[in-house]
Structure 1
Amino acid sequence: MIFPLRRSLFLLLAFPLPLLAQQPASRPQPTSAQVVNTGPTLTLAEAIRIGLENNYGIQLARQEERIASNNVTRGNAGQLPTVNGNATRNFNRNNLNQQFGDNDPRIVNGATSNQLNTNVAATWTIFDGLGMFIAYDRLQRVAQGQRQVTRATAEETVADITDAYFTVVREAGKIQSFEAALRIGQQRIDLTQARADVGVSAKVEVLTARVDYNADRAGLIQQQEALKTAKVNLNNLLGRSPALDFQPADSIVVSRDLSRETVAQAIRQNNPRLQQAKINTEVATYERRLVRASRLPQVGLTTGYGLNRNINNAAFAGTQLTTSTNTTHGLNYGVVASVPIFDGFNRNRLEQNARIGEVQSKLQLEQTQLQLDAEAEQAYAQYQTRLQLLQLEEDNILLARQNVAIALERYRLGLLTPLALREAQRSQLDAENRLLDIRFQAKQAETTLRRLSSGLVRE
C-alpha cells in the first residue's frame, strides 16, 4: 500500500552538491544581497515534507479518500440486515352518537381514546442476483481509484515543489553571479582609479567603470526581486506565510542515467493516473453487472416483534358507558420475494447506458496511455537535449572564467582596453546565468520523467 502518505514517504531527488565552481578570487564588496538570505536553511526534503502536510490539494484528496474508504462496508453493499424500531402514540377526542334500531341514541361528548403501537422490524435480503457482492467489489475498486487520485495529487505536488525549490536555487545562484561580477567591477574601478591618479588613464575611464558597476548593481537589485518572488511562490505551495524567509540548502544536481525503456516500463506499472483509468474500466464493468443482476428475483427475510394497545373511554357494555382496553403483542416472520416483470424497458435502457460507459472507460484508458506516452517522449527528448546543452555550458563556463582572469591581468598590466575587459566580464556573467538556466531546465525534465514514472513518492 502506498498510502497514507503521512506515515511512509521517501524521495528520489537530488542531494546537496556544490552549485557552481569556485568564483575568481577578489575583494568582496558588501551588497544588499547579503541581507536577502537571512532566514534559516531549507532542504528540498524538508520542503516536500512541509508541502505534503500542508498543501490544500493533498488535504482535500485525502478527505475524498477517507470518504471512499468509509463507503467500503458490507452494509453499504446491502449484504447485512436492517433493523428498525418504531413507536406511535395517538390521542383522540371525539363526540359519539350511537343508535341501535328504534332505541334512543347513546350520546357521548368529548369521548377520549389513545392508541400505542410499537414494534421492532428486521429485513434481510438473502438473494438479489448476486448484486450485493458485485456492489461490494465495486466499492472496493472505487476506494482504490481514489487512493490513486491522492497519490497522483501528491506526485504532482512534489513535482511542483521541486521545480519551485530549484527556481529559488537558480535565482540565488544568479545573485552569486552578479556579486562576482560586482567584485570584478570593483577591481576594475580600483585599477582604473590608480592609473588615473598617476596620469596613465583618463578620468573618463574611471567614470565608465563606475557606470558599468552601477549597471551591474541594478541587475543585482532586479535579481533580488526575482529571488523574493520565487520564495513567495514556494512558500505558497508549502502552505505557509509568503513573507517567511529561508535559504535553500540543496543545489541543482541532474541525474544523467535515466533511460527511455526504464521510464516507459515504470509508467505502465506505476503511474497513478494510468492505474486510476484501469480501475475505472473495472468499475464500469461492475456497474453493468449490477444492472443485469437487477433483472433476477430478489428474496428476503422479514421478522419483527410488535405491541399494540388501544384504550377507548367511550365503549358501551350494553347500556353502560365504560372503558375498554385491547392489547396485542407477538412475533411475526416471513419471506418476501419479488420478480421484475416489466418496468417500461428501463432496465434495458440502463444496461445499454452501462455498456456505453464501459466502452467510454476503455477509450479513456487508451487516451490516458497515449497521452502519458507522448508526455514521456517529449520530456525524454527535452531531457537528452538539456543534458547536451548542460555539458556544453559546463565546459564553456570554465573558458569564460579563465578568459576573465586573463583579461583582468592584462588590464592590470595596461595591455587591454576597458571595453574588452567589460566584454569579458559580461560574457562570464551571461555564461554563469546560462549554466544555471540549463541546469534548472534539465532538472525540470528529470522531475517530469520521475513524476510520470511515479518515482517522486514511494512507500
Structure 2
Amino acid sequence: MKKLYLVSLFSLFLLGRLSAQEKTLSKQDAVNLALENNFGIKVAKNQVEIAENNQGILNSGYLPTLTGNASANYQRDDSTFEFPGQFLRDSETGETQLDASGNPVPRPDAELYKAEAQRYNANLTANYTLFDGLGRLYNYKRLKEQYQLSELQARETIENTMLQLFSVYFEVARLYENAHVLRQALEISKQRITRAEYAFDYGQNTKLDILNAQVDVTNDSINLLNVKQQLANTKRDLNVVLSQNLNEDYAVDTLIRFTPKLRLEEFVSQAKMNNVALLLTERNLKINEYDIKVNQSGYLPSLDLNGSYGWNLNNNAPSAFFPGVTVNNRRNFTLGARLTWNLFDGGGTTVRVKNSKIAYENQELLKKQIELEVNRDIQNALAIYENRLNIFKIQEQNVLTNQNNFERSKEQFQLGRITSIEFRQAQINLLNAQTNKNLAKYDAKLAELQLLQLTGQLLNIEF
C-alpha cells in the first residue's frame, strides 16, 4: 500500500509539472486559429472569392468580344489533262491542222508536275451588344447581390464555426476544472489514509477506517482517470475544429466574462437589422426581383454592332488554261449592325416571367416565416440565458455553503466527533457542488453566445 501511495504521489507531481509546462490557448488565440485554419471557413472564403470574380466587369457582358482567326493551306498536284475530240488549229488561219494522210491532228495531252499552291488568310472580328432589352444591366445587378449573399453565407459559416469552437473549448475548460477538483479530492483521500494509519497504530480506530479511506482513494483515482481521458478526447475534438495536429497539447482559459445586461438588451433590440438569417432572406428577395426583370428583357429587341478586318493571300498553281502562277492578295474591312426582336418565342418568355414572379412571392412568404422564427428563437434564447445565469449564481452560492460545511466537517472529523462516512459525504457534496458550478458557468456562457449569434453580434464582441 505504501508503494502504491508513493507511485500515486509521483504521478501527481509529474502531472503537475507537465501542466505547468503546457502553453495556454486563449479564447482569442483559438478564434484566430479557427479563422485561419478551419476547412469550412476556408471553403466559405473561396466561395466569396468566386462570387467576387463573377460580379466583376469581366463577367458583366458590357465588354465587346474580339475573335481572331488564321489559317494556311499548302497544295501540290501532279495532273494530266486530256482533250478528246479536240484538234490542233493553225494559229493564223484557225483551221484544223492535218497530218500527211490528211487526217486531223489530235490535240496533245497537257501535263503539270509539282504544281504547288498556297493559301493564307487571317481576320479579326469584333462584336458588341449595344442594347439587349436591359437584361445585361439587371443580370449585372443580380451578380452584385449574389456577391453580398455569398458574404453573408460565409459570415453564417463563421458564426456556426465559432459556436462549435466554443462549445468544445468550454468543454475542455470544464474538464480542466473538474480534473483540478478531483485532484484535490484525491489528495484529501490520500491524507485520510495516512491519518487513519497513524490512528490505527496508536489504537485510536479500527482497520475499517483505513479500508474506507483506501476505497475512497480508489474511487477518486478512477474518477480522475476518466476525466483525464475525456479531456484528452475533447482536446482532439478542439484540434479538429482548429484544423491542427490532433496531439497538440495546451491549457485553456477558464475565466468567463458575461456581457452586461444593458448591452445585451441593446443587441436584442437591433436583432432585426443584424440577424444573418434575415439578411440572407432580404438578399434572396432582391435576387428574385432582378430575375423578374432579366426575364422581362426577352420582350425587348437587341441591337448588336460588329466589324471585321481580313487578309487573304492565294498563290494558285498553273493549270491547263492558265499556265502561269496567279497571285491573289486581298484585304477587306467591314462594319455592320444587327437588330433582333423575337416577336414571339412560343410563350417561353411569358412562362419564365410568371414563374419568376411566383418565386418572388414565395421568397416574401419565406421572409415572413423566418422573421417569426427568429423572433421566437431570440426570446427563447434570452429566457434560456437568463435561467442558466441564475442557476450559475445559485451554484456559486451552493459551493460556498458546501465549502463551509466541508471545512467544519473536516474539523469535526479531526476531533473524532464524526465518522469517516459523514466526512466523506461532506467531501462528495462539495465535489458535486463544484462540478455543477463549472457546468452551469459554461452552459450560461454558451447560451449567451447563442443569443449573440441570433442578434447578429457574435463576431463583434471580445471573447
Output the amino acid matched with 1:451: Q
Tell me, yes or no, if the aligned pair for 1:256 and 1:387 is still in contact at 8 Å: no
Output the amino acid matched with 1:135: N
Give the alignment partner of residue 133 of structure 1, picking from 134, 137, 140.
137
Superposed displacement of residue 109, structure 1: 6.8
Give the alignment partner of residue 91 of structure 1, picking from 74, 83, 96.
74
1: CA distance, partners of 2:113 / 2:426? 116
**Range 319-328 or range 163-172, more displaced:** 319-328
Larger Rg: 2
2: CA distance, partners of 1:100 / 1:254? 110
Superposed displacement of residue 420, structure 1: 0.7
Give the alignment partner of residue 222 of structure 1, picking from 226, 229, 238.
226
Number of the residue aligned with 1:10:
none
1:8-407 aligned within 5 A: 31=12, 33-34=15-16, 37=19, 38-93=21-76, 108=112, 111-255=115-259, 257=261, 262-315=266-319, 319-407=321-409
Q: Are residues 432 and 346 of structure 1, via their aligned partners in 2, closer, same or farther at CA, if it must alter by over 3 Å?
A: same
Please give the per-residue CA displacement for 1:156-205, whole angstroms capped at 9, x wherever unaligned: 21222122111111000001111121232233223322322221211111
**Range 108-117 or range 174-183, more displaced:** 108-117
Q: Are residues 291 and 102 of structure 1, via their aligned partners in 2, closer, same or farther at CA, if it must alter by over 3 Å?
A: farther
Tell me, yes or no, if the aligned pair for 1:284 and 1:357 is still in contact at 8 Å: yes
Q: Are residues 258 and 434 of structure 1, via their aligned partners in 2, closer, same or farther at CA, if it must alter by over 3 Å?
A: farther
Q: Are residues 351 and 107 of structure 1, via their aligned partners in 2, closer, same or farther at CA, if it must alter by over 3 Å?
A: farther
1: CA distance, partners of 2:113 / 2:344? 53
Give the alignment partner of residue 448 of structure 1, picking from 439, 450, 462.
450
2: CA distance, partners of 1:98 / 1:306? 38
Q: Are residues 394 and 327 of structure 1, via their aligned partners in 2, closer, same or farther at CA, if it must alter by over 3 Å?
A: same
Output the amino acid matched with 2:420: P
Superposed displacement of residue 252, structure 1: 2.9
1: CA distance, partners of 2:442 / 2:29? 20
Superposed displacement of residue 353, structure 1: 2.5
Q: Are residues 458 and 411 of structure 1, via their aligned partners in 2, closer, same or farther at CA, if it must alter by over 3 Å?
A: closer
Please give the per-residue CA displacement for 1:8-34, whole angstroms capped at 9, x wherever unaligned: xxxxxxxxxxxxxxxxxxxx9962653
2: CA distance, partners of 1:294 / 1:337? 14
1: CA distance, partners of 2:258 / 2:352? 53
Tell me, yes or no, if the aligned pair for 1:410 and 1:416 is still in contact at 8 Å: yes
Please give the per-residue CA displacement for 1:291-348, whole angstroms capped at 9, x wherever unaligned: 11122110121112111222210345xx551211112103211111111122222212
Number of the residue aligned with 1:412:
414
Superposed displacement of residue 67, structure 1: 0.9
**Range 357-366 or range 88-97, more displaced:** 88-97
Tell me, yes or no, if the aligned pair for 2:170 and 2:442 is still in contact at 8 Å: yes
3-state secondary structure, aligned to 1:113:
strand
Percentage of identical aligned residues: 28
Give the alignment partner of residue 424 of structure 2, picking from 422, 429, 436.
422
Tell me, yes or no, if the aligned pair for 1:191 and 1:412 is still in contact at 8 Å: no
1: CA distance, partners of 2:62 / 2:283? 23
2: CA distance, partners of 1:286 / 1:93? 60
1: CA distance, partners of 2:279 / 2:114? 73
Alpha-carbon RMSD: 2.4
Q: Are residues 138 and 429 of structure 1, via their aligned partners in 2, closer, same or farther at CA, if it must alter by over 3 Å?
A: same
Tell me, yes or no, if the aligned pair for 2:38 and 2:242 is still in contact at 8 Å: yes
Output the amino acid matched with 1:449: L
Q: Are residues 355 and 191 of structure 1, via their aligned partners in 2, closer, same or farther at CA, if it must alter by over 3 Å?
A: same
1: CA distance, partners of 2:63 / 2:354? 30
Q: Are residues 215 and 67 of structure 1, via their aligned partners in 2, closer, same or farther at CA, if it must alter by over 3 Å?
A: same
Output the amino acid matched with 1:59: K
Superposed displacement of residue 142, structure 1: 0.6
Output the amino acid matched with 1:169: A
Q: Are residues 320 and 303 of structure 1, via their aligned partners in 2, closer, same or farther at CA, if it must alter by over 3 Å?
A: closer
Output the amino acid matched with 1:204: L
Please give the per-residue CA displacement for 1:388-433, whole angstroms capped at 9, x wherever unaligned: 2111111111010111100010011111011111111111111111
Tell me, yes or no, if the aligned pair for 1:164 and 1:233 is still in contact at 8 Å: yes
Tell me, yes or no, if the aligned pair for 1:193 and 1:206 is still in contact at 8 Å: yes
3-state secondary structure, aligned to 1:90:
strand
Consecutive unaligned residues of structure 1, counting only runs of 5 or more, are: 1-27
2: CA distance, partners of 1:123 / 1:420? 94
Aligned length: 430
Q: Are residues 368 and 99 of structure 1, via their aligned partners in 2, closer, same or farther at CA, if it must alter by over 3 Å?
A: farther
Superposed displacement of residue 81, structure 1: 1.0
2: CA distance, partners of 1:373 / 1:425? 45
Q: Are residues 30 and 320 of structure 1, via their aligned partners in 2, closer, same or farther at CA, if it must alter by over 3 Å?
A: closer
Consecutive unaligned residues of structure 2, counting only runs of 5 or more, are: 1-8, 88-106
Please give the per-residue CA displacement for 1:258-316, whole angstroms capped at 9, x wherever unaligned: 67753443331122232122111111111111111122110121112111222210345
**Range 358-367 or range 69-78, more displaced:** 358-367
Please give the per-residue CA displacement for 1:64-101, whole angstroms capped at 9, x wherever unaligned: 11111011223422111111111122334455859799
Output the amino acid matched with 1:357: A
**Range 81-90 or range 426-435, more displaced:** 81-90
2: CA distance, partners of 1:312 / 1:58? 65
Tell me, yes or no, if the aligned pair for 1:315 and 1:324 is still in contact at 8 Å: no
2: CA distance, partners of 1:96 / 1:145? 73
1: CA distance, partners of 2:51 / 2:38? 20
Output the amino acid matched with 1:272: V
Number of the residue aligned with 1:4:
none
Output the amino acid matched with 2:408: I
Query: Normalized per residue, which structure has more helix?
Result: 2
Tell me, yes or no, if the aligned pair for 2:316 and 2:327 is still in contact at 8 Å: yes
